[in-house]
Amino acid sequence: MKKNSKVILGLTGSFGTGKTTVAGIFKSLGADVIDADKIAHQIILPHGEVYGKIVAIFGKGILKKDESINRVKLGELVFHNDGLLSKLNSIMHPVIVRVMKEKAKASVKDIVVLDAPLLIETGLDKAVDKIVVVTASLRSQVLRLKKRAHLEREDILKRIKSQIPLSAKVRVADFIIDNNGKLEKTKKEIQNLRRSLWKS
């Protein structure tokens, strides 16, 4: 990578592979991390860009007392109905992709990481220089999500299946981070990846 040039990495994986942990390590190494989930949370706030459209389609039953969207209720609705999930995605994804591209362009860091679970599904992979896929065994994914999100195994498996299979993401990856082991091993993999970018 030439001095003063910028490389944009697309970071993806599946639910529970530890993508957030990997993004945090990149950030600690000086990368600018742009988080799709954070943008998603911002745009559905009452003053957010897609709030009105979501309420119009899904009704006021998804709102909390303070008029904000109850993400748990919305999630329960869409993950049990493919049609509703497609409707929600058609509202959310174009805005998330646009905002992430704008932030990447404006960044002054030499490495920009687009942290996006649906990097490939949304076509955002076309806007990056390299794709980094975080992998973990299904057992690790389930254990992490049970602990983090307090979901039942059946719900976890449904959410994992709602995305492109991890094996398909691995096939298009430029770099693969195996996140099955200890944190120190994962950190070393990312440090090696960063060094290889500087050599290229």
pLDDT, tens digit, for every residue of 124-174? 999 999 999 999 999 999 988 888 878 888 888 888 888 899 999 999 999
Q: Which residues pair with 57 in a beta bridge?
A: none
Within a domain: 17? yes
Within a domain: 190? yes
Mean pLDDT of 79-96: 93
Within a domain: 93? yes
The rounded distance, in Å, linking the Cα atoms of 10 and 119 is 7
Range of weakest confidence among 49-58, 75-84, 121-130, 180-189: 75-84
Within a domain: 166? yes
Instruction: Give the DSSP H or E segment for 3.
Output: none
In 3D, which of 157, 135, 137, 136 has the Cα closest to residue 146? Answer: 157
Within a domain: 2? no
Within a domain: 102? yes
In 3D, which of 109, 144, 112, 92 has the Cα closest to residue 23? Answer: 112
Residue 87 is part of which domain span? 7-199
What would the two tokens of residue 93 be?
């994804």
CATH number at residue 64: 3.40.50.300
Average pLDDT, the chain: 92
Within a domain: 184? yes
Number of domains in the chain: 1
Rounded to two decimals, the pTM is 0.89
For residue 199, what pLDDT is reported? 65
The percentage of the chain sitting over the pLDDT mark of 70, rounded to a whole number, equals 97
Range 55-77 burial, b when 16+ CB lie within 10 A, else e:
beebeeebbeeeeebeeeebbeb
For residue 181, what pLDDT is reported? 83
Within a domain: 1? no
